């Protein structure tokens, strides 16, 4: 339709004439409320940013001669980080004569990796870096999945405190 007629039609309905495909022959235009369109697209972008997850690397420092109770505490922190969907960098610090026994640090890192293998995997194998030995563990589940589970658990706890039965979680759509 001619441009003049399209502009007249847009004015009649109190809408804007927006060009959606400039390179097409002839160019494609659409009648819409452009302010509302911009607002809705901004809201979609904001929602997408809210659900976006930032990959964080948490660090846990150990020593080769760590006490069993201290080891359990540090392992608990590593488990918590992996459950939250974060990567964990484990650093073993060697001092003095400990530097001549790197196999102690290697065995400690392997033991920790075996203890948390149901939550994470070895992303970077242990390697000596001067006085330190470093290993990186990655979570099995993505950060977004961990965040969704945390929100569901929080909603269930809140409902439990209020004495209301928790709502059934929405069913996942089957992927074909």
Omega of the bond leading into 3 within 30 degrees of 0 (cis): no
Q: What is the CA radius of gyration of the chain?
A: 28
The pLDDT value given to residue 20: 84
Q: Which tens digit of pLDDT belongs to each residue from 89-147?
A: 999 999 988 888 899 999 999 999 999 989 889 998 999 988 999 999 999 877 778 77
Residue 172 has pLDDT above 60, yes or no: no
Q: Which tens digit of pLDDT belongs to each residue from 64-77?
A: 999 999 999 999 99
| Helix orientation angle between 68-83 and 102-115, rounded to the nearest 10 degrees | 50
144, two tokens: 């977004």
Terminal-residue alpha carbon distance, the chain: 42
Cα 95 to Cα 99: distance, rounded to the nearest angstrom: 6
16, two tokens: 């804007």
Q: Which tens digit of pLDDT belongs to each residue from 150-171?
A: 888 888 988 888 876 555 655 5
24-36 as b/e, with b when 16 or more CB fall inside 10 Å?
eeeeebeeeeeee
Which domains does the chain show, CATH number per domain?
1-34 (3.10.20.80), 57-139 (3.30.110.10)
Nearest to 89 by CA among 113, 72, 107, 69: 113
Helix (H, G, I), strand (E, B) or coil at 44: helix
Strand partners, 120: 139
């Amino acid at each position: 339709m001619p441009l003049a007629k399209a502009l007249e039609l847009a004015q009649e309905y109190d809408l804007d004439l927006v060009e959606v495909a400039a390179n097409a022959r002839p160019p494609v235009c659409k009648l819409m409320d452009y302010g509302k369109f911009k607002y809705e697209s901004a809201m979609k972008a904001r929602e997408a940013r809210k659900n976006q997850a930032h990959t964080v690397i948490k660090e846990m420092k150990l020593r080769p001669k760590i006490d069993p109770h201290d080891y359990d505490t540090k392992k608990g922190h590593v488990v918590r980080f992996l459950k939250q969907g974060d990567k964990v960098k484990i650093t073993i610090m060697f001092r003095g004569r400990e530097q001549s026994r790197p196999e102690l640090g290697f065995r400690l890192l392997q033991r920790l990796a075996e203890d948390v293998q149901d939550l994470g995997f070895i992303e970077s194998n242990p390697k000596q870096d001067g006085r330190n030995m470093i290993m990186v563990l990655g979570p099995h589940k993505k950060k977004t999945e961990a965040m969704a589970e945390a929100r569901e658990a929080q909603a269930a706890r809140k409902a439990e405190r209020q004495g209301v039965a928790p709502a059934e979680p929405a069913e996942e759509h089957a992927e074909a």
